Amino acid sequence: MLFRVSCVFLVLVFWTVVLGGALTNPHPNMTDQELFWGADQYDFSVVLPAAGLQCFWHFAHRGESFYLSFMVQWVTGVGHDRHLSVSMNAPSGLLVSTVDDAKGQINFEAKETGFYQMCFSNFHNRFGTMQVFLSFGVYYDGLQDTASKEEEKKKKKEEVSRELNNTLSVIQDASARVENYVFHMFRYYNFGRMRKSADYFLLLSNSHYITWMSTALSLLIVTCGYLQLLFLKRLFVTKSGAEDEKPRC
């Protein structure tokens, strides 16, 4: 009897350990195309169907700066609307930010470590699809805690006091600043490229619209002229049976 009780106890302990372990895959139902792990930056376009919703997840550590830029490139359908509803959720499920516009940016500092959810909804268009250009990622400004920062400041002061002409440290700091400036310049350039592509698709759509409307109006004018001439011609009835009868209106 004691042996059976001990066996049951071991089974329960093992089962609790297995079920209560750490979750290594936070979203087991998601594919690798929807979960973004390693890289710090992603740029691509996605097509949203009518009244469609699509979400992506990106991993960020606590203290990192997260950014998201989006722009609607083109919209098709009847009575289309260029507005896009974007929502950003934290790993705990809290709503971080929302934007409802044709283009926009979301920037914030990550307060939690985990996968941040980005959802894009096309509920404004019930009968039309849209293509959206996305650019999101994280950059590393101020990732270290205050204690490590203070230690680094002390070390830097000691190094400056010992070596005032340390050209290598000056070059390293300058290259780090230049790299940071280049990264932010690339972000603004990317947003300008999205705006330019959106304007191009808008001009192309307007060109097609003007061409079709001009053709339709030309056919309408020709048809109206022909019908008007036919109507005027039928007002005059001519009978050639008797000599005393004349054309009458």
Residue 119 inside a domain? The answer is: yes
Whether the model pTM is above 0.85: no
Structure tokens at 132: 């959206």
The whole domain housing 108 covers 31-203
**CATH code, domain with 44:** 2.60.120.680
CA dist., res. 183 & res. 187, Å (int): 6
Give every CB contact of residue 57 below 8 A, 6+ residues apart in sequence.
27, 30, 34, 35, 36, 115, 116, 117, 118
Domain-embedded: residue 90: yes
H/E stretch holding 65: strand 65-75
Q: Is residue 107 part of a domain?
A: yes
Q: Is residue 213 part of a domain?
A: no
The whole-number pLDDT of residue 39 equals 54
CA distance readout (Å), 48 to 14, 119, 121, 218: 46, 11, 8, 35
* Number of domains making up the chain: 1
Count CA atoms within 13 Å of residue 125 on its CB side.
28
Does 228 map to a domain?
no
What is residue 231's three-state secondary structure? helix
Q: What angle do CA 138, 139, 144 make, to 5 degrees?
A: 115
Q: Is residue 227 part of a domain?
A: no
- pLDDT tens digit at each of 249 positions of the chain: 444 434 444 444 444 433 433 333 444 555 544 455 555 788 899 999 988 999 999 999 888 889 999 999 888 877 678 889 999 999 999 999 999 999 999 999 899 989 999 999 998 888 889 999 999 998 876 544 555 666 777 777 777 666 665 666 677 778 888 888 888 888 888 877 777 777 888 888 888 889 999 999 999 999 999 999 888 888 776 655 555 555 555
